[in-house]
Structure 1
Amino acid sequence: MTTSLLASTTSSGPRRPSRAGHAAALWSAAYGLLGLAWALGAPGFPWGRSDPDSDRELSILSGASPVPGGWWIAGLGAAGTLLALVLGRSRGRGPLRLLPAALAWPAAAALTLVIPDSRLMMGVAYTPLLLVAPLFGWRLGGTRLLDVWPWEVVNQLLCVLGGVLLATATVAYLRRGRDACGDCGRTADGGGWTAPGEAARWGRRAAYVAAAVPLVYCATRWAWALGVPLGVDEEFLVEQARETPGIWLAGAYLATFGAFGGLLTLGLTRRWGEVFPRWMPGLRGRRVPPMLAVVPAAAVSVIVFVAGLTYIRLALQGRFGSSDVGTWLPETSWPVWGAALAAAALAYHLRRRGRCRRCGRL
Structure 2
Amino acid sequence: MATTTPRSLISGWPAWSAYAAALWSLGYGLLGVAWALGAPGFPWGASDPDPDGALSILAGATPRPGGWWIAAFGVLGAILALTLAHTRRRGQGLASLTPLLLAWPSAAVLIVVIPDSRLMMGVAYSPLLAVAPLFDLSLGGTTLADAWPWPVVNQLVCVLGGLLLAAAALACQRRRRDACRTCGRTGQDGWTAPEAAARWGRRAVYIAATVPLIYCATRWCWALGVPLGVSKEFLVEGARDAPGIWLAGAYLATFGAGGGVLTLGLAQRWGEVFPRWILGLRGRRVPPLLAIIPATLVAITITVAGMTYIRGAIAGRFSMSEWGAWLPETFWPVWGGALAAAALAYHLRRRGQCRYCGQGAGDRADRPSPQPVQEGPLR
TM-score by length of 1: 0.95
In the alignment, the residues of structure 1 paired with residue 19 and residue 154 of structure 2 have an alpha-carbon distance, to the nearest angstrom, of: 21
CA contact (8 A) 1:54 1:62 kept: no
RMSD across aligned positions (CA): 1.3
- Structure 1 consecutive aligned stretches of length 4 or more whose deviation exceeds 4 Å: none
Closer/same/farther in 2, CA of residues 117 and 307 from structure 1, 3 Å limit: same
Find the counterpart in structure 2 of residue 73 from structure 1: 70
Q: Which runs of 5+ in 1 are unaligned?
A: 1-8
1:101-160 per-residue CA deviation (whole Å, 9 max, x = no partner) reads 011111101000100000000000100101121221211111100101000000000000
Q: Does 1:255 align with 2:253?
A: yes
1:75-124 per-residue CA deviation (whole Å, 9 max, x = no partner) reads 00001001101111221432232111011111101000100000000000
Alignment of 1:1-362 (within 5 A): 12-13=11-12, 16-95=13-92, 96-188=95-187, 190-362=188-360
In the alignment, the residues of structure 2 paired with residue 63 and residue 155 of structure 1 have an alpha-carbon distance, to the nearest angstrom, of: 16
SS at 1:286 equivalent: coil
CA contact (8 A) 2:19 2:82 kept: yes
Find the counterpart in structure 2 of residue 5 from structure 1: none
In the alignment, the residues of structure 1 paired with residue 201 and residue 320 of structure 2 have an alpha-carbon distance, to the nearest angstrom, of: 36
Find the counterpart in structure 1 of residue 374 from structure 2: none
SS at 1:55 equivalent: coil
SS at 1:283 equivalent: coil
1:276-335 per-residue CA deviation (whole Å, 9 max, x = no partner) reads 111111111111000000000001001000100100000110101122111000000000
TM-score by length of 2: 0.91
Q: Displacement of 1:241 after TM fit?
A: 0.9
Q: Displacement of 1:11 after TM fit?
A: 6.2
1:194-246 per-residue CA deviation (whole Å, 9 max, x = no partner) reads 00000000000000000000000000000001110000011111111122111
In the alignment, the residues of structure 1 paired with residue 48 and residue 126 of structure 2 have an alpha-carbon distance, to the nearest angstrom, of: 20
Q: Displacement of 1:57 after TM fit?
A: 2.1
SS at 1:35 equivalent: helix
Closer/same/farther in 2, CA of residues 165 and 148 from structure 1, 3 Å limit: same
Identity %: 70
CA contact (8 A) 2:36 2:63 kept: yes
CA contact (8 A) 1:118 1:306 kept: yes
SS at 1:91 equivalent: coil
CA contact (8 A) 1:196 1:351 kept: yes
CA contact (8 A) 1:18 1:89 kept: no
* Alignment-mate amino acid for residue 47 of structure 2: S
CA contact (8 A) 2:44 2:58 kept: yes
Closer/same/farther in 2, CA of residues 269 and 53 from structure 1, 3 Å limit: same
SS at 2:258 equivalent: helix
Please identify, of 316-325 and 285-294, the stretch whose mean Cα deviation from structure 2 is larger.
316-325
In the alignment, the residues of structure 1 paired with residue 231 and residue 21 of structure 2 have an alpha-carbon distance, to the nearest angstrom, of: 49
* Alignment-mate amino acid for residue 61 of structure 1: L
Q: Displacement of 1:52 after TM fit?
A: 1.5
In the alignment, the residues of structure 1 paired with residue 15 and residue 282 of structure 2 have an alpha-carbon distance, to the nearest angstrom, of: 40
Closer/same/farther in 2, CA of residues 10 and 176 from structure 1, 3 Å limit: farther
In the alignment, the residues of structure 2 paired with residue 10 and residue 59 of structure 1 have an alpha-carbon distance, to the nearest angstrom, of: 35
SS at 2:279 equivalent: coil
Q: Which has a greater percent of helix?
A: 1
Q: Displacement of 1:17 after TM fit?
A: 2.7
